[in-house]
Amino acid sequence: MKENNDLAKYLFCQGTNFHAYEWLGGHSEKPSDGYSYIFRVWAPKADAIFIVGDFNGWRENMPMEKDAESGVWSYRLNTADSIEGQRYKYKVVSKTRTSMKADPYAFYNQTLTETASMIHTLGGEWHDGEWMKKRKKPFEDTEHFYPAPMNIYEVHLGSWKRKDGRYLSYRELADELSQYVKDMGYTHIELMPISEYPFDGSWGYQVCGYYSPTSRFGTPEDFKYFIDKMHGANIGVILDWVPAHFSKDEHGLIEFDGYPLYEYQDKNRMEHKNWGTRCFDVGRPEVQSFLISNALFWFREYHMDGLRIDAVASMLYLDFDRAPGEWTPNVYGDNKSLEAIAFFRKLNTAVFGEFPDALMIAEESTSWDKLTKPVYSGGLGFNFKWNMGWANDMFEYLKTDPLYRRYVHGKLTFPLVYAFSENYILPVSHDEVVHCKKSLLDKCFGPYDEKFSCMRAFLVYMMTLPGKKLLFMGSEYAPFREWNYEDQLEWFMLGYEKHSQMRDYVKALNHVYIDNRPLWDIDDGWAGFEWINPNDADGNTISYFRRSRYGEELMIVINFSPAEHRGYVLRVPSKAEYEKVFDSGIGYGVFDKKLKTKAHREDGRWVHEITCDIPSYGAVIYRKKG
Residues designated as active site: 310, 363
CB burial string 139-161: b at 16+ within 10 A, e below? beeeebbbbbbbbbbbbbbbbbb
CB burial string 286-312: b at 16+ within 10 A, e below? bbbbbbbbbbbbbbbebbbbbbbbbbb
- Give the pairing of strands 359-362 and 162-163: unpaired
**CB proximity list for 552: less than 8 A, separation 6 or greater:** 516, 517, 518, 521, 623, 624
Closest C-alpha among 360, 352, 412, 415 to residue 384: 360
- Give the pairing of strands 188-191 and 236-241: parallel
Q: How far are the Cα atoms of 89, 241, 255 from residue 104, in angstroms, in the given order?
A: 10, 16, 12
Are the C-beta atoms of residues 494 and 500 closer than 8 Å to each other? yes
Strand partners for 153? 189, 471
- Burial group, residue 406, by CB count within 10 angstroms (0-12, 13-18, 19+): middle
Are the C-beta atoms of residues 391 and 425 closer than 8 Å to each other? no
Region of 448 on the Ramachandran plot (φ > 0 left; ψ -120 to 50 alpha; else beta): alpha
For 262-309, where are the alpha helices, taking DSSP H only?
Answer: 267-270, 285-302
3-state secondary structure labels for all residues of 509-542: HHHHHHHCHHHCCCCCCHHHEEEEEEEECCCCEE
Are the C-beta atoms of residues 483 and 429 closer than 8 Å to each other? no
Half-sphere exposure of 460 (CA within 13 A, CB side): 31
Q: What whole-number distance in Å separates Cα of residue 299 and Cα of residue 348?
A: 13
Are the C-beta atoms of residues 89 and 101 closer than 8 Å to each other? yes
